[in-house]
């Protein structure tokens, strides 16, 4: 193919083996691709639907090189992959997004510094690697603030609120004396996200902003489109497009934003992969975020991101199983509802086991349907 595209029938590699890789593999196989997955885990959500599952450690460079020689391109469903693993693979095939984008986004201090240095709006922040530096950072940022571990944090893990200086020593012990970032707490009107994609030739598409509600720091419900001022939605898309270009990104990127009570838009985090908030695109958009990832990393034209109907996604955590098998029939009586389960054998409180997507005539109606169906699972 003259464009250098990787055609259907080729084999795609994915690093990581959770639910994001599972949905990527499903989209890829629907388009005629084969999928190999690599992670330390076996019998994984991705491995259950991939053609080949390789379970090996991230530091097993020989296994990574062998994996790379069986595929045409490699992408990510999990950002906490050591850079050494990416470099081992890049000696054989492209990794999309590239190692530079991954290096920037997998560590919070690097990510926030990158954002600030390139003019993207963020909350006031400061890094700290010692208790004295943490005292100084809290003094500089002011309270209330939140202290987050700089690496390997998601779903609220490694986050602690500081309301008075007396909290600092306790928080330093709680994070295990590791590098942290201190961020000013701001009053929020909403939290939104923009899922966007950039292709190998720099072309871009983005979905409408989604509105996200969290419970215990874990995404609970997403609705689309976000009910924010049109200027906020437009500006969020512009920022996402600027980030894709600045990172020379290939693939799907999610940009999470805070919308303050003053209407200010601040970049919270970047996810160098499809995102939980974008799961509703499977049922509500012309092209899902996972098909978009396939198209982008394979050098194919990007698909339409049109939202066909207002939609809402409700996460299903392991808590839903605490009283036994959920009442699937009761939930699925809800009209315009779709069930997605991730193939995880052992439900645990807080563990993402699946999601429900509901469609409606408005975001509010879709949210009401999704939440009511989730409640019905416990009936």
The tokens for 317 are 């955590």
Distance, in Å, from the CA atom of 338 to the CA atom of 285, rounded to the nearest integer, reads 14
182 beta partners: 126, 147
Strand 34-39 and strand 52-55: the pairing is parallel
pLDDT tens-digit series, residues 234-250:
999 999 999 999 999 99
The tokens for 313 are 């996604």
pLDDT band at 1 (very low <50, low <70, confident <90, very high): very low
223 beta partners: 211, 312
The pLDDT score that the predictor gives to residue 151 is 86
Report whether 54 contacts 65 (CB < 8 A).
no
CA dist 59 → 63, 84, 191, 212, 372 (Å) = 9, 8, 36, 35, 45
The pLDDT score that the predictor gives to residue 2 is 38
User: pLDDT averaged over the chain?
Assistant: 95
The pLDDT score that the predictor gives to residue 156 is 55
Q: What are phi and psi of 341, to 5 degrees?
A: -115, 150
pLDDT tens-digit series, residues 125-176:
999 999 999 999 999 999 999 999 998 655 556 789 999 888 999 999 999 9
Please report the domains of the chain, with CATH numbers, ordered by start residue. Answer: 11-95 (3.40.50.20), 124-184 (3.30.1490.20), 188-376 (3.30.470.20)
The tokens for 344 are 């995880």
Rounded to the nearest 10 degrees, how much is the dihedral formed by the CA atoms of 313, 319, 323, 324? 70
Distance, in Å, from the CA atom of 242 to the CA atom of 315, rounded to the nearest integer, reads 30
């Amino acid at each position: 193919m003259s464009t250098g595209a990787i055609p259907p029938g080729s084999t795609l590699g994915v690093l990581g083996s959770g639910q994001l890789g599972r949905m990527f593999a499903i989209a890829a196989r629907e388009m005629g691709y084969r999928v190999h997955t690599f992670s330390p885990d076996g019998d994984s959500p991705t491995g259950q639907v991939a053609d080949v599952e390789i379970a090996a450690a991230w530091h097993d460079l020989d296994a990574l090189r062998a994996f790379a020689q069986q595929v045409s391109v490699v992408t990510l469903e999990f950002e906490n992959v050591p850079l050494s693993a990416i470099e081992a693979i890049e000696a054989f095939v492209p990794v999309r997004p590239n190692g530079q984008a991954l290096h920037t986004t997998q560590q919070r201090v690097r990510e926030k510094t990158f954002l600030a240095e390139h003019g993207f709006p963020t909350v006031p922040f400061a890094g700290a690697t010692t208790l004295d530096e943490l005292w100084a950072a809290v003094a500089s940022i002011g309270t209330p603030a939140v202290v987050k571990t700089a690496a390997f944090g998601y779903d609220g893990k490694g986050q602690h609120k500081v309301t008075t200086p007396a909290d600092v020593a306790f928080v330093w012990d709680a994070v295990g004396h590791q590098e942290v970032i201190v961020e000013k707490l701001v009053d929020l009107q909403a939290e939104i996200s923009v899922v966007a994609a950039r292709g190998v030739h720099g072309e871009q598409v983005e979905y409408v902003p989604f509105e996200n509600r969290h419970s215990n720091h874990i995404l609970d419900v997403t609705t689309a489109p976000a009910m924010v001022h049109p200027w906020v939605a437009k500006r969020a898309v512009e920022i996402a497009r600027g980030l894709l270009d600045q990172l020379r990104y290939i693939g799907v990127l999610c940009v999470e934003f805070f919308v303050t009570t003053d209407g200010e838009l601040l970049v919270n985090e970047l996810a160098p992969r499809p995102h939980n908030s974008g799961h509703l695109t499977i049922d509500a958009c012309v092209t899902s975020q996972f098909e978009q990832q396939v198209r982008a990393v394979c050098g194919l034209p990007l698909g339409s991101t049109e939202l066909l109907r207002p939609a809402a996604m409700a996460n299903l955590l392991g808590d839903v199983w605490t009283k036994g098998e959920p009442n699937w029939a009761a939930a699925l009586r809800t009209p315009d509802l779709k069930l997605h389960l991730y193939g995880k054998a052992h439900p645990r409180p807080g563990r993402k086991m699946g999601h429900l997507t509901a469609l409606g005539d408005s975001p509010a109606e879709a949210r009401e349907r999704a939440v009511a169906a989730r409640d019905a699972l416990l009936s």
